[in-house]
């Protein structure tokens, strides 16, 4: 029988050992024995947490110390920067979600745009948060200092009147603290001491006029107000004006007054006589109607003029159309007693402008409003 090779015998033995099953009880016992021989180590969870807490507290303390020092240094630097800048001229106030800027500039109170006197009292106020010790209001006229006023605890200031020159003056009030100007405000005041010019073009004092209407026309300076017997009227931008009255027959006294923006007044009085219309023209009647009672400046308006006599159309009557103090033209009625006239409305706003028709010794009128609204 041939001999087995050594290598083959070992392989066979190892193969048999690998194939032999291991008893689980022996394996479990061996594992427990091995675990018992290993050194024991406990995980330091509590120690780790404690160490982390200590390190955190130490870091916070360090940051607080450094923060106080850095914050103090930044605060000192900020104070130096703010001290070097000009004083604040406004403050921020939050109302709801909106930021509102409140200026500390002085506010004039009761200062007119026009005056007829050279002496002007100065009054005003500043916001209460701008009131501080050492602050005053310096007032200048046309760049020249004219006085300094103290500021009350409520922010109001005022004092002796300042002197203005005739014509245009620029009055400036400046909030100052020592030599530092904090905020300023200015207002233009015009001194006008001469009364407005007033010219009456018609009628003339002493005239005897046919009734029933009396027309007053004249001119004053632009911007002046005019009244006729205390009844206000609105002049045109160039100062021209017209007014129509229907007084009773007999003596008529008229007072025409013009007042400028400064309060200067010019007054003219007229003594007139109003008589009945002559019999020759008593039967003629005029009427005027407008296609629109309200238009925009410069728009075209159509006037229909009708002449009748004893209730019947009257042809070939010469009629003159006036808008305010301006004459549009002279026309003649047709066989139906009608004249159609187109004209441009005034190029400015005016509440009531008279559209007047004159002819045959009688007159008629309509009212036109010129507005951009």
Q: How far out from the chain centre does Cα 181 lie?
A: 27
**Which of 353, 109, 57, 111 lies closest to 233 in space, CA to CA?**
353
Domain spans of the chain, in order of start:
102-191, 198-275, 281-370
Give mean pLDDT, residues 269-279: 81
- Please give the pLDDT value at position 71: 52
- Which token pair is 246? 């229907």
Q: Which residue has the tokens 């187109």?
A: 342
Q: 102-191 — its CATH code? A: 2.60.40.10
pLDDT digits (tens, 9 = 90+) for 46-82: 556 666 766 777 666 665 665 545 455 544 544 454 3
Give mean pLDDT, residues 256-264: 94
- Please give the pLDDT value at position 233: 85
3-class SS string, 215-228 = EEEEEECCCCEEEE
- Please give the pLDDT value at position 143: 92
d(CA 278, CA 211): 9
Q: Matching CATH topology for 102-191 and 198-275?
A: yes
- Please give the pLDDT value at position 4: 45
Which class does domain 281-370 fall in? Answer: mainly beta
Higher-confidence residue: 266 or 371?
A: 266
DSSP for 300-317 reads: EEEEEEEEEETTEE--S-
% of the chain beyond a pLDDT of 90:
38
Please say if the pLDDT value at position 298 is more than 70. Answer: yes
- Report the number of secondary-structure helices (H) and strands (E) in the chain: 3, 29
Q: What CATH fold (topology level) applies to the domain 198-275?
A: Immunoglobulin-like (2.60.40)
Higher-confidence residue: 157 or 282?
A: 157
323: how many CB neighbours lie within 10 A of its CB? 20
Which residue(s) pair with 181 in the sheet? 176
d(CA 28, CA 214): 138
pLDDT digits (tens, 9 = 90+) for 25-44: 665 666 556 555 555 544 45
């Amino acid at each position: 029988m041939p001999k087995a090779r050594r290598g083959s015998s070992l392989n066979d033995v190892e193969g048999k050992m690998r194939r032999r099953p291991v008893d689980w009880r022996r394996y479990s016992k061996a594992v427990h024995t091995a675990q018992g021989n290993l050194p024991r180590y406990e995980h330091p969870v509590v120690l780790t947490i404690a160490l982390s807490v200590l390190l955190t507290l130490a870091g916070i303390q360090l940051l607080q110390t450094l923060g106080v020092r850095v914050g103090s240094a930044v605060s000192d630097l900020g104070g130096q920067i703010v001290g070097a800048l000009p004083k604040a001229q406004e403050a921020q106030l939050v109302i709801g979600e909106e930021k509102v800027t409140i200026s500390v500039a002085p506010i004039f109170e009761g200062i007119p745009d026009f005056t007829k006197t050279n002496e002007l009292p100065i009054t005003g106020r500043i916001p209460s948060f701008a009131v501080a010790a050492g602050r005053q209001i310096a007032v200048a006229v046309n760049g020249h200092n004219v006085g300094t006023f103290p500021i009350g605890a409520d922010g109001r200031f005022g004092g002796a009147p300042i002197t203005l020159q005739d014509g245009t003056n620029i009055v400036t009030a400046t909030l100052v603290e020592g030599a530092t100007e904090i905020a300023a405000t200015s207002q233009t005041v015009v001194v006008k001491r001469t009364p407005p010019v007033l010219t009456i073009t018609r009628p003339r004092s002493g005239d005897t006029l046919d009734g029933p209407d009396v027309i007053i026309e004249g001119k004053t300076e632009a911007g002046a107000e005019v009244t006729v017997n205390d009844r206000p009227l609105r002049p045109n931008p160039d100062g021209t004006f017209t007014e129509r009255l229907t007084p009773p027959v007999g003596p008529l006294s008229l007072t025409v007054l013009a007042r400028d923006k400064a309060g200067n007044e010019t007054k003219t009085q007229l003594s007139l006589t109003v008589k009945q219309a002559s019999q020759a023209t008593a039967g003629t009647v005029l009427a005027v109607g407008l296609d629109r009672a309200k238009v925009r400046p410069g728009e075209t308006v159509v006037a229909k003029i009708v002449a009748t006599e004893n209730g019947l159309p009257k042809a070939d009557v010469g009629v003159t159309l006036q808008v305010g103090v301006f004459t549009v033209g002279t026309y003649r009625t047709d066989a139906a007693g009608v004249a159609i006239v187109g004209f441009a409305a005034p190029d400015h706003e005016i509440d009531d402008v008279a559209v007047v028709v004159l002819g045959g010794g009688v007159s008629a009128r309509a009212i036109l409003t010129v507005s951009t609204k």
